[in-house]
Amino acid sequence: MARRPNILLITSDQQHYSCLGATDPVLQTPALDRLCAEGQRGERAYTCNPTCSPTRASLITGLYPSVHGCWTLGTKLPEDVPTIGDALHGAGYHTALLGKAHFQPLGSRPSQTSLEAQPTLRDLAFWRQFHGPWYGFDHCELARNHADEAHAGQHYGAWLEDHGLTNWQDYFEPWPPQPGRSKRLHHWDLPAELHYTTWTAERTIADLERCAAADQPFFTWASFHDPHPPYLVSAPWSTLYDAADMQPGRLHAGELERLPPYVALAQQERPDYRPYVEQYASHGCQSHRHDEARLRADMAVYYGMISFMDQQIGRILEALDRLGQAEQTLVVFTSDHGHYLGHHGLVAKGPFHFDDGIKVPFIVRWPGEVAAGSVNRDLQSLVDLPTTFLAAAGLEIPGLHQGRDLAPSWRGEGAVRDHLICENRHQPTRLHLHTLVTEQHKITVFRGQPWGEIYDLAADPGETRNLWDEPSAQGLKCELLRRFVEADMAREPTRCPRIAHA
């Protein structure tokens, strides 16, 4: 029997789908461009939720957030949910997560404990002795923060101390927070060699080396933190790009008139979202008004963060070559969700389902299985990756899984999907929206609201004309709603197969 392939999952955090050198000549990403040349770039890959925790939990469970239980930010993936790490470990794989996890909330309580909450985050004695097992990973090395956020520490903090930076906390926002403290902007005085992007690559390479020495197949997740805001990075990456070369997205004339009312609030200076939010207000429910010059400067740093990450991904790919593992390793690169850089008048993220927020970059390299230099235009969902990885390892797919095996699509044998669904239940009863994406159309339905969104992605790829209320589109609306109901029924998991008539 042929050896099962190694599996290397590389993810960024909050990367716009267009932000690859292969599709943007301004952006320098030679390592990711190499993966595109040696593998396949997917043009229609989508997240299953436009926020971090729910999607990251889906990436290890093969379940939608509404099923695995980590349904929004600030909730926890229950430890009893089966993960692909459990299955791969049982098949002889070494499983490891290096970088950002975010399966658990920043807060903690007796009924819902969290390893990713203060004060545990800065208890370096704990992290020096804890490396798993955790959520199916035999080995974990974790960091929770983005840039200089206060929730720094964990294995990364211990690594900084081991590398001589005993005052590492001076480079991060203080804990507990100090109101009124000025924020760092764009340039971070933390040396690049001590940045968590460097750390993620170094620890990933160390894990690959251990597996190669033991001649053991691996499932390794290199989970990078950037280019998630704050827009802050070390030199020389903070000045690599000129703000004048940036081309932000736009809010088009008349666009807001056709959109649900809460979207228009984002353009107000002091929007009142109280009719739409509950406790722990939704991410993105604030003013999105922005200064053009500041957005360009932020975008230049956002590009610098991507190029820095790309450099470190290049180190990982070189390690696979050096260790003789490249030809037997399935490599997937993607992001947990997208990002708004002025598109539709929005910045960062929020409860919006435009492609800028739910479509993701996607590259797969699988020597002997996927044609080099190919482009895949089939629909793909991140919820499909766990199912695909288990199938690639020759393992049985659990009936509980809601994803599909993407390998036939990667091989050019035909699409495995004619639709996908993106969930967003950031509030229990408000701003609860689901989106169906088909080959040509997109429809978004809001719980308890009369409004919605429909786009013809072929005629209107920029999603500037919402067809929901147009009289000429009512037949299309009915058909898409019918397909939505069928799609929701089709994704029902079957944990236990039927074995008798009663």
387: alpha, beta or left? (left if phi > 0; alpha if psi -120 to 50): alpha
Ordered DSSP codes for 471-488: GGGHHHHHHHHHHHHHHH
CA distances from residue 455 to 25, 360, 380, 458, 484 in whole angstroms, order as listed: 28, 18, 19, 9, 14
Q: What's the rounded mean pLDDT across residues 296-316?
A: 98
Spell out the residues 6+ positions from residue 53 whose beta carbon is closer than 8 angstroms to its own. 70, 72, 73, 74, 75, 77, 102, 103, 104, 105
Residue 46 has pLDDT above 60, yes or no: yes
Name the helix (H) or strand (E) containing 446. strand 441-446
- Rounded CA separation 316/477 (Å): 47
Portion of the chain with pLDDT greater than 70, in percent: 99
Could you give the count of Cα atoms lying within 13 Å of 465 in the half-sphere of its Cβ? 10
Pairing label, strands 419-425, 329-335: unpaired
Ordered DSSP codes for 264-333: HHTTSSS---TTT--SSPPTT-S-----HHHHHHHHHHHHHHHHHHHHHHHHHHHHHHHTT-GGGEEEEE
CB 350 within 8 A of CB 285: yes
CA nearest to 232, candidates 190, 175, 181, 179: 190
Burial class (CB in 10 A: 0-12, 13-18, 19+), 307: buried
Q: What's the rounded mean pLDDT across residues 60-89?
A: 96
For helices 292-322 and 196-214, the axis angle rounded to 10 degrees is: 20
How confident is residue 1, by pLDDT bands cut at 50, 70 and 90? very low
Residue with tokens 């001590």: 194
What pLDDT was estimated at residue 282?
76
How confident is residue 73, by pLDDT bands cut at 50, 70 and 90? very high
- Rounded CA separation 69/400 (Å): 13
Residue 363 has pLDDT above 50, yes or no: yes
Residue 444 has pLDDT above 70, yes or no: yes
What angle (nearest 5°) sits at the alpha carbon of residue 444, between those of residues 104 and 278?
45
Q: How many secondary structure helices (H) and strands (E) does the chain include?
A: 13, 19
CA distances from residue 491 to 40, 68, 78, 117 in whole angstroms, order as listed: 27, 13, 21, 33
In terms of pTM, does the model score above 0.95?
yes
Residue 339 CB coordination number (10 Å): 25
Residues 448-496 pLDDT 10s: 999 999 999 999 999 999 999 999 999 999 999 999 999 999 999 988 8
Burial class (CB in 10 A: 0-12, 13-18, 19+), 49: buried
SS3 238: helix
6: alpha, beta or left? (left if phi > 0; alpha if psi -120 to 50): beta
- Rounded CA separation 453/42 (Å): 25
62: alpha, beta or left? (left if phi > 0; alpha if psi -120 to 50): left
CB 350 within 8 A of CB 357: yes
Backbone angles phi, psi at 7, to 5 degrees: -130, 120
Please say whether the structural domain 6-490 has been given the CATH code 3.30.60.50: no
SS3 447: coil
Residues 97-125 pLDDT 10s: 999 999 999 998 887 789 999 999 999 99
Residue 122, both tokens: 């800065």
CB 227 within 8 A of CB 15: yes
Dmax (CA) for the chain in angstroms is 69
Domain boundaries defined on the chain? 6-490
Residue 316, both tokens: 């990982």
- Rounded CA separation 264/255 (Å): 9
What pLDDT was estimated at residue 279?
65
In single-letter form, the type of residue at position 388 comes to T
Q: What's the rounded mean pLDDT across residues 171-192?
A: 92
Backbone angles phi, psi at 142, to 5 degrees: -120, 155
Burial class (CB in 10 A: 0-12, 13-18, 19+), 210: middle
Residues 385-415 pLDDT 10s: 999 999 999 999 999 999 999 999 999 999 9
Q: Work out the mean pLDDT of the chain and round it to a whole number.
A: 95
DSSP 434: E
